[in-house]
Structure 1
Amino acid sequence: MPITDADGLRRVLGHDRVAVVGASTSYEKAAHIVPAYLQRHGYDLTPVNPGADEVFGERAFDSLADVPGPIDIVQVFRPSEEVPAIVEQALARDDVRAIWLQVGITHDAAARKAEAAGLDVVQDRCMKVEHGQLVRNPMD
């Protein structure tokens, strides 16, 4: 079952290395606004976007397999039908701890496969909203 409780969400949000699959160079899109917020709050972001050289001031990579450093969370801003392939890429790595599917993105079969491999899964939730409600210091 995907994580929905506050304690589970806090646990996932406690990881700090995030690969953003579908990161956008368009400042007005959620796929830019949400990760930029997370970066401002101390998360180490790696954008994954084959159409960009750089996003959020960070080098962009074509796929999860191309990301050289460790990844804790794979944050997904791609259509639901692309989730199974993204989960496969995440499972091919030995460092991913969680898959976070942003608002409007779900894929139950891929989520079950990730969970069976020991990954935490969050579906149809905004990482920025959850961070703001559950983690962020109110003085920020």
Structure 2
Amino acid sequence: MDMGADTDAVVERILTTYDTITVVGASAAEHKPAHYVPAHMQEHGWRIIPVNPAGGTILGETAYRSIADLPEQVGLVDVFRPSEATPEIARQAVAAGATALWLQLGIASAEARRIAEDAGLLYVEDRCLIVEQRRLRLEAPSLS
């Protein structure tokens, strides 16, 4: 996909399709974007599934040590990790059956893009969920 209008369409599709966001690199530290971005999305109706190697609890949810440890089907994977870590995360997302991969603002990887797109995943990079949610004035979709 080209950036711009095509990416805007993918962003809107993701935010209107997925009611659960698996957050790789989620943080319990309130000052970090990896905490306050998923917290914002949670406040607007999205369910958050944190993934952090330390485990524990983040945003009131059980934090899983890896994508592979999730006890349910994965849909949207949102990434708060350095760009160089994203190809491996993309491979893990594909292996887990994810259907969308979102790299947060400042995170981009041609290799992660290729892995995701070759597997048919919706793909967004270098965009912030909060910015896009506010711009599109969306709340979590009701899928029940």
TM-score (norm 2): 0.89
The answer to whether residue 32 in structure 2 is matched with residue 39 in structure 1 is no
**How do 1:54-133 residues align onto structure 2 when only pairs under 5 Å count?**
54-94=57-97, 96-133=98-135
AA aligned to 2:77 is V
Distance 1:4 1:48, change over 3 A: farther
- Pick one of 30, 43, 52 that aligns with 2:55: 52
AA partner of residue 62 (structure 1)? R
**SS class of match (2:134):** helix
How many pairs were matched up?
Answer: 136
Query: Does the 8 Å contact 1:3/1:121 carry over to 2?
Result: no
- Quick one: which amino acid aligns to residue 104 of structure 2? Q
What's the TM-score once normalised by structure 1's chain length? 0.91
Deviant stretches of 4+, over 4 Å: none
For 2:86, the aligned partner's letter is: V
* Pairwise CA distance, 1:112: 1.4
Contact persistence 2:15–2:138 (CA under 8 A): no
Shift of 1:135: 3.4
**SS of residue paired to 1:112:** helix
| Aligned counterpart, 1:20 | 23
- Unaligned 5+ runs, structure 1: none
Please provide the CA RMSD for this pair. 1.4
Offset from partner CA, 1:39-95 (integer Å, 9 cap, x none):
11111110000113000000000000001122221000000110011011111122x
Unaligned runs of 5+ in 2: 140-144
Instruction: Report sequence identity in percent.
Output: 45
CA distance in 1, matches of 2:66, 2:129: 21
Report the counterpart of residue 9 of structure 2 in structure 1. Answer: 7
